[in-house]
Copies of this chain bind each other. A is one copy, B any other.
Amino acid sequence: MKILVIGGSGTIGKKIVEFFSKEHQVIVAGRSSKDYPVDIADTKSIKELYKKVKETGKVDAIICAAGEAKWAPFKDLSETDFHIGLRSKLMGQVNVVRYGHKCLKKKGSITLTTGILADDPVYQTTSAAMVNGGIHSFVQAVAIEMRKKIRVNVVSSGVVVDAHHKYESYFPGHPPIPMEKMIMGYRKSVSGRVNGEVIRIYS
Give A residues with C-beta under 8 Å from B.
Answer: 43, 73-75, 79, 82, 86, 90-91, 94-95, 98, 117-126, 128-138, 140-142, 144-146
Contacts and interface: CB of A to CB of B under 8 A. Distances in A.
A95 to B, nearest CB: 7
A94 B82 contact: yes
Contacts of A142: 74, 126
B137 A122 contact: no
Contact of A123 (B95, B140, B145): B145
Given A94-B130, A146-B74, A137 B123 contact: no
Nearest to A86: B86
How many of these chains are in the complex?
2
Given A120-B140, A126-B142, 13 more contacts: A75-B145, A86-B86, A94-B126, A117-B137, A118-B137, A121-B144, A122-B141, A123-B144, A123-B145, A129-B137, A130-B138, A132-B137, A133-B133
A54 to B, nearest CB: 19
Contact of A138 (B95, B122, B133, B141): B133
Contacts of A132: 137
B119 A79 contact: no
Contacts of A136: 133, 137
